[in-house]
Structure 1
Amino acid sequence: MSPSRERRNPLEIQELLDECIGFLHRSPSALLACPLVARSWVNKAQANLFRNPLASTLEFAFSNVRVHQFLYSLHSNPILAGRVYELDLVVNNRNVHPSTLDNIRTLEFTNLERLNIDLEENILPELFEPLLSSPSLQYLHVRTSQTFTALAPVWACCSPTIRHFELVCREESAQVPPSVRRIYGYLKSLGLALSEWDAACPVQPRSRLLHPFDLSQLKAIATHEAVSVPWDSICADNIEVLDVNEHSFGTEMDLTVLPNLRILRIQLVGLIRLGMLDCLAPIILGAPHLHTLVLALVSEYDNDSKAQLAVLEAALLPLVSFACPVVEVAYWNDDFTEDELRGVFPQLLSRDMARLTFFPYVYAYFD
């Protein structure tokens, strides 16, 4: 047999090795042992170990000691910061202590694509500004007890590469002037929710508070009760995905002006809001490209609310038959069994016009 036809040892094929090491991404101990086997295993093991280092395991995510070990590794070898593609920061006394942010912000995460910041303490937003300016950042999720007003100046530091932005914070009635600098980028998806809300405070347009983000090319938006949508900055013809709470129906949101809507996701919390069914018909009939209607059952349901779901099916059936979207029902196992839901939506399921989905349910707008 000629040398050219000799079979190669699988352990000498780097692509195959990389693929095998990739299966160990949920086992930090196994990845740490890889460099002890061979030098050729080092790069791929490091890439998997540091890709999303603070969410590798529950132990890692909820241990301040492990967070310090992670930071020590990065400060000892700054090249490792370039291996980090996702970063989950839960800032409190148990996870990432507020004082730890100073150590994190000095690192250069040149390849960071996803950033999730959960501020459970009253932390100054300026502390995480350097992370927001990462040159490759595309996905940004921020949950904080701060107000829209307090956060508005921070957005001027954001990277122009951000395309997907989710924000959960407090509301207030103060008027906020737009910042001077504008980001030369645009968002594809936007999520807005309130952690606390005072019903006495008027809901102000988000266009001023989200400045300097460019919303003109927005394709997906998620917004819940008492959160106004900055329609003056959005091109309604571009919206393809809409995620709303049932409380959004019948409010100042005009959901009928979305002709290119493809996916409509409605979060149903307990009893169905009066008037929701009347508002739903023109949305479905006015969106000729709608192909999926998602009913997300996100709260506990008693017998009364389960009976209302049966009424909902009766109202949806003629609409779905005419407009032809698929109804997807997402639910918790603790609230329903599959047999119960089949009893609630018998006609849609028997006509193969509905499908059931378990929570945890995360709808991927754009990946």
Structure 2
Amino acid sequence: MGEDAHLIRVRDLMGMTSGIADYDDFFMEHFTFKFAGDDAGPFLYLKSAARQGLTCRPRSKAVYSGANYVLLGFLLVEVHQMWSWQDLDQLRAIPNNLMHSGRYSHTSFSRLGRCIQYSGFAHQYAWKSWEFENNTQTFEDLAYTSCLNGWTMGNLASSAVDLATFFFDLFSLPKEKGGFLSHKSLTEMTTFKRLNDTWCEGPGGPGSCSYGMGILTNQLGQDFWVLQDKSADESAVKVLGHPGEDWGSGCSPCGFNPKYGFGICMAYTSVIGMNCSADFQLNFGAVQEATCLAYDAVLGLFGAPRLNCTNPTIAHPPQVVNCTWSRQDNNHSAFLLETNLADTETAVII
């Protein structure tokens, strides 16, 4: 990682102030598709990040890196004196009383092997933007690729209900009453600093999101929204939590609304729309529009400020595209007939 790596502390990993670069997402995505029957273990992600060295001196600024979560996973393996990283039971992070209550019955952490082997996992479709040839767009069914997904960085599989429940429990149920964290720890987690990543768009444009410790705020589509009434209280629509997105699925908004006291999460099985019967360009804003409309409907129930979910007008001529859906089955591509609309699921916990 570089000569300053010895300065990195656990809090730096949790707060994204380690300076560690993120892994090469483009390479890892291609690796996963090309070797669909193999698993890219956590060391491969760390090596990808380490090749770039530190982006800055530890604690000098906040830069997001999934490799931080991988290192935190290895830390837990060491603390619990486990033989292998594969022995880590990530469900142990849920307090026993909450786990046994059935509140997280649709939450699991996938390990080695293809996603198709796990019962209850939704099919997810990766938009292969680089495979646009002869006016044809391909979507890859990730059910037939490795489900390890970066290990502690991204192998969580859950329902919208369970995720909304998690953030509701995290913010409303203190550790003293059987919850996840004490008030002191939660306060530290929600002490934010600016995240210096241009991919994260916030109130000040690219690179203006904020990060605490595992909690993100001021992100477009999470808790930064355009309001219909520009004089309304913007803090009323904020959602403290953590959105997530991989190559074929995501969840956002996902977190807890402190103003009205509810947890919410919307999950989707494609990062863009997959409606190929109309102007294909409409798909690029489909997830943002759908999640905005769903969250706006929830806010309306509480009498909260309403969101402006109007997408920008597309200036270019309509783009008519043929679409195919493929999967890697025994290393041979087979085309599927699947729905051309991304499935979504929304849950609100009050």
Question: Which band: TM-score by shorter chain?
Answer: under 0.3
TM-score w.r.t. length of structure 1: 0.23
Q: Which has the larger radius of gyration?
A: 1
Q: Where is the helix percentage greater, Structure 1 or Structure 2?
A: 1
TM-score w.r.t. length of structure 2: 0.24
